Structure 1
Amino acid sequence: MSGESATRTAPRSTGAVKGPVGSRTGQRLSGLAVALGLALFLGGFGWGALIYRPYTVPTGSMTPTIGVGDRVLAERVDGDEVRRGDVVVFKDTTWANAPVVKRVVAVGGDTVSCCTDGKLTVNGKQIDEPYLAPGGPAEDKKIPTVEVPKGRLFLLGDERHSSLDSSAHLTDAASGTVAVKAVQARVDAVVWPMNGMLKRPTGFEELGALSSPGPLGTIGLMIAVGAVLVLGGGAYGPVAKRLGGRGRARTEPAGVR
């Protein structure tokens, strides 16, 4: 038309902007991931609380395996389940009025002595103990041959030079041994600082079976997987929303004059 300018406008889309492909399925899967993650996370903590006890070791008698002030997790076990080489928590009032942490080196029926060629001897076999503090067993810490009564344990610290262990109680009526029923738990790991699981005491394998590892590794895996699922499932909504917003910005047509 004369004297008038015509304005041409690009047609606008009247259809609803679609969200990310499979968003409804994604929402369902994210909800399932969060639910499963919470079950694993809380289940792991619950399982751990039932069978593990935390202890703080106040002395250096177990160095370098466990340092002064280290925090450990110990599995609740019966004394009958204890094997040679285990690090255990026990309470014997003839030793102390508080729980004590030491390593079992001989069980009921064993004979133990120290030192032959600088090594601990159990049932006539010299034991390799790579977990000991540098310098190995103290040569001045002689242990005469002791026959461990049935139902009792002979325990030593890994820091043999200064540990107040069975060798310091040899003059007691029980020749330094402790009743298996005094055992409260078996140490599985040092959790603070995070040194991880204790190494298996392979030097005792020739004398019999070692203890089976506790479920701490499985519990830790459950907690870790649960945390990943919760975080991943919870992040789906914000991520999908952001991606959807970008998609709408790209498809929105611009006006033309």
Structure 2
Amino acid sequence: MAVGARSGHDEPERRPERPAPSAAAMTDDAAGRPDPDPRSDRRRDEDPAPASGPGDAPAADGGDGGDGDDEETARDGRGPQRPRSFWKELPLLIGIALVLALLIKTFLVQAFSIPSDSMMNTLQRGDRVLVDKLTPWFGAEPERGEVVVFHDPGGWLEEGKTPEPNVVQKVLSFIGLMPSAEEKDLIKRVIAVGGDTVSCKEGGKVVVNGKELNETYLYPGSVPCDPAFGPVKVPKDRIWVMGDNRQNSLDSRFHMELAGGGTVSTDEVVGRAVVIAWPVTRWATLPVPATFDQPGLAQALAVAPGAAGFAGALPLVLWRRKKRAARHTAE
């Protein structure tokens, strides 16, 4: 009994098969001629690429065998990469931090710890101050009233009197944010600069260029000068410094027998203390007191160039007058 083919709605319609391309058609395709069936391109774009078997060769760049862009990215090393471990980055971060700290310490700002009571109440023992080291690089000189840090000029600090640093100071010294324990620095207030004349009588006030200073910044109960001194003519490029706690400060008054007569060379100045940074409850700036802005305080420095100019011009004026008188006589 012969079995015939069924035709009904339950049997899917079969798509007629395309005839295999002839050798001539294949030759035409290879030569770059257009595909006679335009649907082939659409099917090639829509149909997913077949999975490669174990014996399949890798697809060429941009070919039909796979995503050529992804493969090129992977070969060039530009593909997604896992982030480096934090512990691998840590040595680099520490190195950069140390270099930056060294640059900041050398050229910009440095922190100093106050080891004594010589500047009370302006500065108290244990305060941390930030010292501006940038402006001296541009030729700025210390000015009257500024609080400055300077190296020991020689003989100001006794041997063995350097305070033992605590753990915090040792760590900050190691990374360059504080001076090492071997460095010997002092902090005082500039009272007079090169060319000034400074003095103080027993029971009186400090006098600079004939002007009395109203030193409201002194420690309560401290007298302006004890012992008395001066008058002292401050040499050029040097400064006269004193502590705000006058009865507990070994400043310029007590080193007048040394070279420089108690003054400090501006080359020894590290920089100006501009702010109390620690503790936070003591945060404050360190401005120049108003008494150093009084008129006439710097008059001596202004008069000297004028007097020198007058002395230089006087002979010329007399010579011209003499020449003019001789001309009138001849006429």
Matched, 1:196 2:196: no
Q: Give the equivalent residue in structure 2 for 1:94.
A: 155
Task: Tell me how far 1:116 sits from its aligned partner.
Answer: 6.8
Q: Which moved more, 1:127-136 or 1:191-200?
A: 191-200
Q: Provide the C-alpha distance between the structure 1 equivalents of 2:206 and 2:120, rounded to a whole number of angstroms.
A: 17
Q: Give the equivalent residue in structure 2 for 1:221.
A: none
Of the three residues 97, 108, 112, the one matched with 1:55 is 112
Q: Provide the C-alpha distance between the structure 1 equivalents of 2:150 and 2:197, rounded to a whole number of angstroms.
A: 21
Q: Measured at CA, do residues 140 and 116 of structure 1 come closer, stay the same or move farther in structure 2, by a change above 3 Å?
A: closer
TM-score by length of 2: 0.46
Q: Provide the C-alpha distance between the structure 2 equivalents of 1:170 and 1:134, rounded to a whole number of angstroms.
A: 26
Q: Provide the C-alpha distance between the structure 2 equivalents of 1:61 and 1:126, rounded to a whole number of angstroms.
A: 22
Matched, 1:70 2:127: yes
Q: Provide the C-alpha distance between the structure 1 equivalents of 2:227 and 2:190, rounded to a whole number of angstroms.
A: 17
Q: Give the equivalent residue in structure 1 for 2:240.
A: 154
Equivalences for residues 207-246 of structure 1 within 5 A: 207-208=297-298
Q: 1:137·1:161 contact (CA, 8 Å) conserved in 2?
A: yes
Q: Provide the C-alpha distance between the structure 2 equivalents of 1:197 and 1:205, rounded to a whole number of angstroms.
A: 18
Q: Provide the C-alpha distance between the structure 1 equivalents of 2:184 and 2:114, rounded to a whole number of angstroms.
A: 11
Q: Percent identity?
A: 41
Task: Tell me how far 1:117 sits from its aligned partner.
Answer: 5.8
Q: What do the CA deviations read for 1:54-89 (whole angstroms, capped 9, x no partner)?
A: 000101100000001111001004274210001000
Q: Give the equivalent residue in structure 1 for 2:267.
A: 181
Q: Provide the C-alpha distance between the structure 1 equivalents of 2:291 and 2:202, rounded to a whole number of angstroms.
A: 15
Q: Give the equivalent residue in structure 2 for 1:229.
A: none
Q: Provide the C-alpha distance between the structure 2 equivalents of 1:166 and 1:116, rounded to a whole number of angstroms.
A: 16
TM-score by length of 1: 0.59
Q: Measured at CA, do residues 102 and 130 of structure 1 come closer, stay the same or move farther in structure 2, by a change above 3 Å?
A: same
Which consecutive residues of structure 1, in runs of 5 or more, have no partner in the other structure? 1-44, 210-257
Task: Tell me how far 1:201 sits from its aligned partner.
Answer: 1.4
Aligned residues: 166
Letter in 2 for 1:93: G
Q: Give the equivalent residue in structure 2 for 1:81.
A: 141
Relative contact order (C-alpha < 8 Å, sep 6+): which is higher? 1
Which consecutive residues of structure 2, in runs of 5 or more, have no partner in the other structure? 1-99, 158-182, 300-331
Q: Provide the C-alpha distance between the structure 2 equivalents of 1:116 and 1:199, rounded to a whole number of angstroms.
A: 28
Letter in 2 for 1:199: P
Matched, 1:135 2:135: no
Task: Tell me how far 1:146 sits from its aligned partner.
Answer: 0.6
Q: Give the equivalent residue in structure 2 for 1:172.
A: 258
Q: Provide the C-alpha distance between the structure 2 equivalents of 1:94 and 1:150, rounded to a whole number of angstroms.
A: 21
When Rg is computed on C-alpha atoms for both structures, the one with the higher figure is 2
Q: Provide the C-alpha distance between the structure 2 equivalents of 1:82 and 1:107, rounded to a whole number of angstroms.
A: 8
Q: Provide the C-alpha distance between the structure 1 equivalents of 2:112 and 2:273, rounded to a whole number of angstroms.
A: 9
Q: After the TM superposition, which parts of structure 1 deviate over 4 Å for at least 4 consecutive aligned residues?
A: 45-50
Q: Provide the C-alpha distance between the structure 2 equivalents of 1:139 and 1:63, rounded to a whole number of angstroms.
A: 15
Q: Measured at CA, do residues 175 and 80 of structure 1 come closer, stay the same or move farther in structure 2, by a change above 3 Å?
A: farther
Q: 2:189·2:244 contact (CA, 8 Å) conserved in 1?
A: yes
Q: Provide the C-alpha distance between the structure 1 equivalents of 2:240 and 2:131, rounded to a whole number of angstroms.
A: 19
Matched, 1:106 2:196: no
